[in-house]
Amino acid sequence: MDRLLSVSMLSSNFGKLDDNVDMVNKSEADWFHLDIMDGVFVPNISYGLPIIRTIAAKALKPLDVHLMIVDPDRYLEVFKEAGAQLLSVHYEACIHLHRTLHRIRALDMKAGVALNPHTSVELLSDIIQDVDFVLLMSVNPGFGGQVFIEHTYNKITRLKEMIVKSDSPALIEIDGGVNQRNAECLYAAGADILVAGNAVFSAADPQQSIKELKV
């Protein structure tokens, strides 16, 4: 399996959005990671559909949209129309997760389920066959630039075991506090996709930083 890197635009300078999209296009990154926060599911509000559409118009790589919102079912079609190719919803925000994931797939997007740090991976045992990727939050969702929670390694190991045992196609995405010091260990532990925001946009040379994160 390839090691994929999804760049979180949350930490980018939105006054230079075009340049930042160009930078990701030219880099070794694989996807754009777009964080949608509603101020209810998480204690922060990020950006919405106009920004997604602006990025989609210029992006040469898939848009990996991470919905940190309550009742995401209301917006699946809208995010598809805005340009999402991968869409993740939070386990904690979905009452009918099976239905939600199938609707995402029916809209021809890859269906992801995101877990907060306190949510056990074992809760996915009866849905893992219906998931294209699992996004493990390695910080509490809501903000970029936070410190990586080390217990995530334990969750990766248990999730990988479940995926292999159940012959599921699901990939593992790690989101939050990823940097040049832990990227290699995370891939080695079983992560397929790493998300990085702060480690990219706070670097003097973001393209070089992306290269180093892909190890």
Query: Which CB atom, from 8 or from 168, has the smaller least distance to ligand DX5?
Result: 8
Specify the stretch interacting with ligand DX5 by CB under 6 A; choose among 3-11, 13-21, 71-79, 121-129. 3-11
Contact 17, 55 (CB under 8 A): yes
Contact 195, 8 (CB under 8 A): yes
* Pairing mode of beta strands 86-90, 63-68: parallel
Task: Give the C-alpha distances (Å, rounded to integers) separating 136 from 23, 100, 111, 193.
Answer: 26, 18, 14, 10
Specify the stretch interacting with ligand DX5 by CB under 6 A; choose among 57-65, 88-96, 118-126, 169-177. 169-177
Q: Which residues contribute to the site for Zn ion (CB under 5 A)?
A: 35, 66, 175
Query: Which CB atom, from 112 or from 141, has the smaller least distance to ligand DX5?
Result: 141
Check 38, 130, 175, 192 and give the catalytic one: 175
Placement of tokens 């390694």 in the chain: 153
Specify the stretch interacting with ligand DX5 by CB under 6 A; choose among 12-20, 96-104, 150-158, 195-203. 195-203
Site for ligand DX5 in 31-70 (CB under 6 A): 33, 35, 66
Q: At what angle do helices 49-58 and 17-26 cross, to 10 degrees?
A: 50
* Sign, CA torsion 160/184/85/41: positive
Does 175 qualify as catalytic in the annotation? yes
Q: Which does 144 bind (CB under 5 to 8 A by kind): Zn ion, ligand DX5, none?
A: ligand DX5
Does 71 qualify as catalytic in the annotation? no
The rounded distance, in Å, linking the Cα atoms of 115 and 94 is 11
Is 97 near ligand DX5 (CB under 6 A)? no
Q: Which residue is nearest to ligand DX5 (CB)?
A: 198
Contact 141, 42 (CB under 8 A): yes
> Which residues in this chain contact ligand DX5 in the complex, by CB under 6 A?
8, 10-11, 33, 35, 66, 139, 141-146, 175-178, 195-199
Residues belonging to the active site: 35, 175
